[in-house]
A and B are shown apart, each in its own frame.
Chain A
């Protein structure tokens, strides 16, 4: 079986942290990632960019509807994810629109955070 672990943080708390505090957190994350890699549990993991970069895509009656912001309703729950390689947001949106659930649910498109230094 595979499990997806979803990390919920308050972006405001991260923004309010000092450099030393975020450094400490990154170090802990690095250690944790190494640990679950070594134990053979790790499959994939990425940090997401803030929700200000999010776009929500829906397809209704064959038309792609795009809106700024994350999907925020609680009626539907996160059911899965695809990690894709796309050259820009337009291509990512086009692929998101092809996911079958786009016709009834919503697909949130979130760019992956790229760090200058590998975090472990």
Chain B
């Protein structure tokens, strides 16, 4: 690995914890980011000529610490000598030379997560701030990932940081009575980052992969820092199991390959192993009944465990969807439950389920509803009706890959009818 590549890896692994500590010490997001980036700039300059240090993370923390002390000293000019020395000593004590074994630094990242995901900030600002400060993504990268102009993203970040400062949003792990609600918010942001990266919509594939990796990294960090949380482990398991199928879900032309048609040899074994272990752990840890993330992970685990699509345990999946639709009744859950029932008891039953949930009328503008309906009709041999539903789905879909998939299906059923 070249020095430059090594530095980029260290950057991604360390930027969050260095920025988090600097924010605590300096009480200023912008200054913290600036000093952290200065430290990396120094590394970029020195490492290629002087060689990489034996402990790159330690080197970066030390450099950031020196720069922070300089900055504090510069700002304390004019104060009494004794006061100055006190401030500098405090800053120095805030940094530990061995970040990997020092739990204080881990707490800083946890503090930063809760501050970035504070409910007084708009959700899109929470997401952007998390990626910027904890993930070290550039404003341009985040803008590209969310398909907004860089200036819009920059304004969003400035405004969020301004609100944290001016409204005095605290930099701390919330007290026990608020913790579970605030953890829900952090998990929601992490999952949103993952979903954005995992969606097969248009956009930069490289950045999208980065978002998934970053979400998994943040999720695992949260699980490590606040253990004994079933839903955090459930979220990590869910992301890992989805991510394990990343290479198999699109073909070489970028077209969607359905779960049942995927080449399971291309699923990532390591991610599946880790995801299954976390699913079991999450289910063991839940108090009374599993939460939405743990349940979705358990469903995903049923797919991961099946060596072939025909061996999928649809009975178990249908039971899990029954529970999930009671505690977390969303459109996509109702739809997926109907699909599980269709796989277990046949497309006629699936169609009956769809008709039942369609009565409210709110699913009519939802393309996946029509795609599922079309699929059941196709399998019942009602090809004309299937084509109609596929057309309806196509008129509502946004992504190119999804549209091409529907076009293929329409051509198939038209040939058959």
Contacts and interface: CB of A to CB of B under 8 A. Distances in A.
B167 A111 contact: yes
Contacts of A109: 167
Given A55-B120, A68-B120, A68-B122, A89 B159 contact: no
Contacts of A69: 122
Contacts of A34: none
Nearest to B182: A90
A53 B170 contact: no
22 contacts: A49-B167, A52-B159, A52-B162, A52-B163, A52-B166, A53-B162, A53-B166, A55-B167, A66-B119, A66-B120, A67-B122, A68-B120, A68-B121, A68-B163, A88-B169, A89-B167, A89-B169, A89-B170, A90-B174, A90-B178, A111-B166, A111-B167
B119 A53 contact: no
Interface string B317-330: 00000000000000
Contacts of B119: 66-67
A68 B123 CA distance: 9
A6 B125 CA distance: 30
Nearest to B119: A66
A110 B180 CA distance: 26
Interface of A: 49, 52-55, 66-69, 88-90, 93, 109, 111
Contacts of A111: 166-168
A59 to B, nearest CB: 13
Interface in B141-186: 159, 162-163, 166-170, 174, 178
Nearest to B120: A55
B122 A89 contact: no
Given A52-B162, A52-B163, A68-B125, A88 B170 contact: yes
**Which 6 residue pairs spanning A and B have beta carbons closest together?**
A66-B119, A68-B122, A55-B120, A88-B170, A53-B167, A53-B166
Contact of B163 (A53, A66, A67, A93): A53
Nearest to A110: B167
Contacts of A93: 120
Nearest to A94: B178
A52 B169 CA distance: 13
Nearest to A66: B119
Contacts of A66: 119-120
Contacts of A52: 159, 162-163, 166
A111 B168 CA distance: 8
B177 to A, nearest CB: 10
A93 B169 CA distance: 11
B110 to A, nearest CB: 16
Contacts of B163: 52-53, 68
Contacts of A49: 166-167
A55 B125 CA distance: 14
Interface in B168-216: 168-170, 174, 178
Contacts of B178: 90
Interface in B117-133: 118-122, 125
A67 B121 CA distance: 7
Nearest to B174: A90
B167 A90 contact: no
Nearest to B163: A53
Contacts of A53: 162-163, 166-167
A55 B118 CA distance: 11
B121 to A, nearest CB: 5
A66 B170 CA distance: 15
A104 to B, nearest CB: 21
A52 B120 CA distance: 11
A52 B159 CA distance: 7
Given A52-B166, A53-B162, A88-B169, 18 more contacts: A49-B167, A52-B159, A53-B163, A53-B167, A54-B167, A55-B120, A55-B167, A67-B119, A67-B120, A68-B122, A68-B125, A88-B170, A89-B168, A89-B170, A90-B170, A90-B174, A93-B120, A111-B168
A106 to B, nearest CB: 14
